[in-house]
Amino acid sequence: MAKVLIATDWLAACAGCHMSLLDLDERIVALLHHVAFTSSPVTDLKHTPPTGVTVGILTGAVSNTHNVEVARRMRARCRYLIAVGDCATFGGIVAARNLVGTQAALRRAYLETESTVNGRIPDSPELGRPLETVTGVGDVVKVDIFLPGCPPRADDFHYLFAELLAGRIPTILPREHLRYD
Amino acid sequence: MGTVTITINGQKVSAQTGQTILEAARGAGIDIPTLCHHPALAPVGACRVCLVEVAGQRTLQPSCTFPVADRMEVQTESVKVVEARRFVLELIFSERNHFCMTCPMSGDCELQNLGYRYGLDHWVYPTYEQAFAVDASPAHHLLDHNRCVLCRRCVRACAELVGNHTLDLRQRGAHTMLCADMDLPLGESTCVGCGTCVDVCPTGALIDKRSAFMAPPSEVERIATTCSQCSLGCGLNVAMHRGRVVRLESLWEAPVNRGLLCRRGRFEALEDHRLRILAPMLTETNKRLHVSWEKALAVAASRLEATDPRRLGLMTTTRVTNEALNLMKKVFIDTLNAGQRGMVDRVCPTFPAAESGRLSDLSESDAILLAGADPSADQPVAAFMIKRAVDRGARLITVGKRPGELAVFAEMHVVPRQLEVAVDALMAADRPMVVYGSGLKKADIHTLQRLAGKARFLALQPGVNTRTAAALSVNGMPDPAACDTLFVVAGEENGAMERLAAGIDRRTFVMAQASYESPLAARADLVLPMAIWLERSGTLTNTEGVLCRAHAALPPTGQSRPDWDILGRLAETLGLEDNPSPNRPERRKHRTF
């Protein structure tokens, strides 16, 4: 049987969810008998192949227009989209920006910081523009499975992959694999 | 009250009429999830998490307020019920900041547990964007509106349990906010800082400042003990994490206080920053030396034996265990016959032929006379109970030269000269109660005696274990000037001992059994380090006469030892037979000489 292709990408993320995925440790070796990781932010190949994958994993919140593009691209190129981590499911720590407002957050970060002299809010056309509201991935594209946690533990990833390989879509997570912190 | 039979999830359940579906279900071991419900508070049905399907009812009903009826059929986890609960939870999560990873209560949050139970893994409604200011104005706790689910537990606790009515809700619907008084910062409001609201809060909206983020809730262990701040003997839980005290919490099953604690008992008891005495110390030829316990006790014993009994003094704090007081009686009264002895606190007078009352009687009395005591300051939990009685309709009459804090709630305040008027008012009541302290004058006692046989009398002793101390005739006030040798059990006492220290003659040999450095400890020729209340087990007798058990949460600091342990060793050194009484069960376990 051909290996199941998995691609991961991150939006406004801290990399913690990917670290947790790597925490599978030796279980990754066993997993690689069944799946192939085509691309991820922590490997040489970053971009999800245009030919598509079976499982797409997104971590991080939707914070700017670039995140929206990445989320839409992943959605278009995968069959099952999994939102992983509190940021991708709820907005998480990034959504704390909502409580002060995007413009206020930018001013504070780039102009008003005590150590800043002649600061400037970045506005290069190459950069994504910050959104007014930070949201989870589900607000931008259809998500098939949500796996919250800050981060989800390696066991939770293992459960998820085991279920998918068994042909089941774990849309309702058992209590031991559902966490908000 | 009749018994009815209802069917819950197909299971026949017996219930009492007047019970709610929730009570009947829990009585039968059937779990219905709740959020705004708290066993100590009146149910209000605010959160709708406990919705159940009742046959014949058009809509789902909140089980916490819906009374049972015979042959009622209830479904608690049907598809319809579970769907409705998920919907309710999604709505609750849709307002305010319920991100767990930055909340100190994550792991001990009832809302989080419900999210887990019903598998909420993403927001259904738009991400909430409004932020509210955190009210951190109280000394010991803070109110984070962003975590509030408006369950009103705190509002009910403040009113129903504390009788304080500080907290309430303002505005309506989506604009509803918790507020103190007429929307004041908590620290400037009528809040008494007892922290009962912190204890009942199901989320992280009301949290204890000191312990926030200090310990993962799942790793906190609890040790039940008795508060040693006043004579009520309130039960409380010491929350521990890896050998450190995290905070003090309500112990809802405590018989005396039923979960209530005051600011002093819950918060200030952990704020003692005085310097601890860590080892026995002996002053010889103006030099202070650390000595072994054996040496210290040998010096103490020989000094006590060599002193003329008439010029031997014992002075004690009442913040000691019954075991310690019994040993003081055995050593200093029965054996050494010390001529001078006393304790720092005064004792409440007794009323012959009067029925003694209990704190729990306050909830049944219809008229309360408060004289010679200021419970708001000295026994705050008793003040909460008096305010609750007033809420229920009891008449309160306060007596004193100046109106105390409780006078605001009183129907009448009289000066002692007019005590007769108050007594007359009580004579006309059905179940009157006299709550009094050690501040009563002779004339007042005489006047109040008229109520003996009519009213119940509850003494609020000023010290912690005053009742036992008085019963063992340790009471009185020694004349420090008349002592060649003075043994002072100072413990954690401060002010009163300083005054005592000032009156001690230069030639007097002073032995101090103390926990903290103080002028008295500095003056003492021999210092015996004593464990504090969190470090000793034993029993205390509260002002009502209830025996309260204390359990050590911490090991004694340095070389300090529990109060009874020091006195027990002293008795042994004096050659007195060691016969541990049955109410000293902890004694042997802690002996690690």
DSSP per-residue string spanning B153-193: HHHHIIIIIS----EEEES-GGG-EEEETTTB-GGGSS---
**Which letter does DSSP use for residue B30 in this model?**
-
- The four Cα atoms B193, B248, B556, B320 give a dihedral, to 10 degrees, of 60
State how far residue B97 is from chain A, nearest Cα, in angstroms.
Answer: 9
A139 at B interface, C-beta within 8 A: yes
A166 at B interface, C-beta within 8 A: no
Count the alpha carbons within 13 Å of B314 in the hemisphere toward its beta carbon. 26
End-to-end CA distance of chain B: 59
Average pLDDT for B131-158: 96
Residues of A in contact with B131 (CB under 8 A): 99-100
Strand partners, A147: A84
Peptide bond into A122 cis (omega under 30): no
Q: Do A133 and B106 touch (CB under 8 A)?
A: no
> Which two structure tokens, joined as six digits, stand for B227?
């508060």
State how far residue A102 is from chain B, nearest Cα, in angstroms.
Answer: 11
A161-175, B17-31, B578-592: lowest mean pLDDT where? B578-592
Nearest to A17 by CA among A42, A38, A48, A44: A42
Contact B548, B541 (CB under 8 A): yes
Q: Do B122 and A96 touch (CB under 8 A)?
A: no
Q: Do B101 and A181 touch (CB under 8 A)?
A: yes
A168-172, B347-351, B542-546, B588-592: lowest mean pLDDT where? B588-592
Which residue of chain B is at minimal alpha-carbon distance from A174? B119
Q: What percent of chain A is predicted at pLDDT more than 90?
A: 96
> Which two structure tokens, joined as six digits, stand for B536?
């000793």
Q: Do B116 and A179 touch (CB under 8 A)?
A: yes
Q: What are phi and psi of B378, to 5 degrees?
A: -100, -35
> Which two structure tokens, joined as six digits, stand for B115?
């999210």
Residue B241 predicted with pLDDT over 60: yes
| Helix and strand numbers, DSSP H then E, in chain B | 16, 28
Residue B585 predicted with pLDDT over 70: no
Residue B32 predicted with pLDDT over 80: yes
CA–CA separation, B154 and B482 (whole Å): 55
CA–CA separation, B563 and B571 (whole Å): 13
Q: What ipTM is given for this predicted complex?
A: 0.92
Residues of A in contact with B116 (CB under 8 A): 175, 178-180
DSSP per-residue string spanning A16-27: HHHHHHHTTTTH
CA–CA separation, B154 and B140 (whole Å): 16
CA distances from B274 to B252, B281, B523 (A): 31, 18, 17
For chains A and B, what is the number of CB pairs under 8 angstroms?
74
**Which letter does DSSP use for residue B408 in this model?**
G
> Which two structure tokens, joined as six digits, stand for B12?
């026949």
Give the closest of B99, B106, B107 to A92, CB-based. Answer: B99
| Banded model confidence at residue B579, pLDDT cuts 50, 70, 90 | low
A146 at B interface, C-beta within 8 A: yes
Give the closest of A95, A175, A179 to B99, CB-based. Answer: A95
A172 at B interface, C-beta within 8 A: yes
Q: Please give the pLDDT value at position B533.
A: 97
Q: Do B127 and A150 touch (CB under 8 A)?
A: no
Average pLDDT for B17-26: 96
**Unique residue bearing structure tokens 């265990």:** B321
Residue B1 predicted with pLDDT over 80: no
CA–CA separation, B113 and B291 (whole Å): 54
> Which two structure tokens, joined as six digits, stand for B542?
């509260």
A144 at B interface, C-beta within 8 A: no
Average pLDDT for B54-75: 96
| Banded model confidence at residue B578, pLDDT cuts 50, 70, 90 | low
Q: Do B115 and A180 touch (CB under 8 A)?
A: yes
**Which letter does DSSP use for residue B49 in this model?**
T
Give per-residue pLDDT as tens, B456-480: 999 999 999 999 998 887 777 778 7
> Which two structure tokens, joined as six digits, stand for B62?
């909140």
> Which two structure tokens, joined as six digits, stand for B298?
């040998």
Helix axes B563-573, B293-306, angle to 10 degrees: 60
Q: Do B100 and A181 touch (CB under 8 A)?
A: yes
Give per-residue pLDDT as tens, A3-20: 999 999 999 999 999 999
Give the closest of B99, B100, B131 to A100, CB-based. Answer: B131
Average pLDDT for B119-148: 93
In B189-299 the beta strands, taken as DSSP E runs, fall at 206-208, 221-226, 235-241, 244-250, 281-284, 287-290
Q: Do A146 and B128 touch (CB under 8 A)?
A: no
Give per-residue pLDDT as tens, B153-206: 999 999 999 999 999 999 998 899 999 999 999 999 999 999 999 999 999 999
Which residue of chain A is at minimal alpha-carbon distance from B146? A99
Which residue of chain A is at minimal alpha-carbon distance from B125? A139
> Which two structure tokens, joined as six digits, stand for B449?
């005696």
Which residue of chain A is at minimal alpha-carbon distance from B131? A99
The b/e string for B123-137 (b: 16+ C-beta within 10 A; e otherwise) is beeebbeeebeebeb
State how far residue B41 is from chain A, nearest Cα, in angstroms.
Answer: 29
Longest distance between any two alpha carbons in chain A, whole Å: 60
Residues of B in contact with A20 (CB under 8 A): none
State how far residue A89 is from chain B, nearest Cα, in angstroms.
Answer: 5
Residue A93 predicted with pLDDT over 60: yes
Residue B582 predicted with pLDDT over 50: no
Which residue of chain B is at minimal alpha-carbon distance from A90? B122
Q: Which helix (H) or strand (E) holds B267?
A: none
> Which two structure tokens, joined as six digits, stand for B507?
């030639």
CA–CA separation, A46 and A9 (whole Å): 8
CA–CA separation, B321 and B590 (whole Å): 15
Q: Do B131 and A180 touch (CB under 8 A)?
A: no
State how far residue A144 is from chain B, nearest Cα, in angstroms.
Answer: 11
**Which letter does DSSP use for residue B357 in this model?**
P
Residues of A in contact with B126 (CB under 8 A): 133, 135, 139
Q: Please give the pLDDT value at position B589.
A: 41
Phi-psi label, residue A39: left if phi above 0, alpha if psi -120 to 50, beta otherwise: beta
Beta pairing class for A78-84 and A53-59: parallel
CA–CA separation, B417 and B419 (whole Å): 6
Give per-residue pLDDT as tens, B483-519: 999 999 999 988 778 888 888 888 999 999 999 999 9
Report CA Rg, chain B: 28
Q: What percent of chain B is predicted at pLDDT more than 70?
A: 97
Nearest to B197 by CA among B184, B183, B181, B208: B208
CA–CA separation, B516 and B494 (whole Å): 9
Q: Do A178 and B116 touch (CB under 8 A)?
A: yes
Give the closest of B101, B122, B126 to A146, CB-based. Answer: B122
Longest distance between any two alpha carbons in chain B, whole Å: 91
Average pLDDT for A10-35: 96
Nearest to A6 by CA among A78, A111, A64: A78
Contact B191, B240 (CB under 8 A): no
* C-beta neighbour count of B447 within 10 angstroms: 19
Going by C-beta distance under 8 Å and a sequence separation of 6 or more, which residues neighbour residue B254?
B224, B234, B235, B236
Which residue of chain B is at minimal alpha-carbon distance from A146? B121
Which residue of chain B is at minimal alpha-carbon distance from A97? B129
If contacts are CB pairs under 8 Å, which of residues 105-164 in chain B contact chain A? 106-107, 112, 115-117, 119, 121-123, 126-131, 146
The b/e string for B279-305 (b: 16+ C-beta within 10 A; e otherwise) is bbbbbeeeeeeebebeebbebbbebbe
Residues of B in contact with A138 (CB under 8 A): 122-123
Q: Do B127 and A134 touch (CB under 8 A)?
A: yes
* C-beta neighbour count of A159 within 10 angstroms: 18
B322 at A interface, C-beta within 8 A: no
* Cα dihedral sign, B508-B513-B519-B520: negative
CA–CA separation, B565 and B580 (whole Å): 11
Q: Please give the pLDDT value at position A1.
A: 66
Beta pairing class for B167-170 and B206-208: unpaired
State how far residue A175 is from chain B, nearest Cα, in angstroms.
Answer: 6
Residue A105 predicted with pLDDT over 50: yes
Q: Please give the pLDDT value at position B593.
A: 29
Contact A151, A85 (CB under 8 A): yes
CA–CA separation, B566 and B547 (whole Å): 22
Which residue of chain A is at minimal alpha-carbon distance from B107? A181
> Which two structure tokens, joined as six digits, stand for A92?
């998480």
* Cα dihedral sign, B84-B87-B91-B92: positive
Give the closest of B103, B117, B127 to A133, CB-based. Answer: B127
Sheet holding B206-208, edge to edge: B134-135, B141-144, B206-208
Q: Please give the pLDDT value at position B476.
A: 74
State how far residue A62 is from chain B, nearest Cα, in angstroms.
Answer: 12
Q: Do B123 and A136 touch (CB under 8 A)?
A: yes
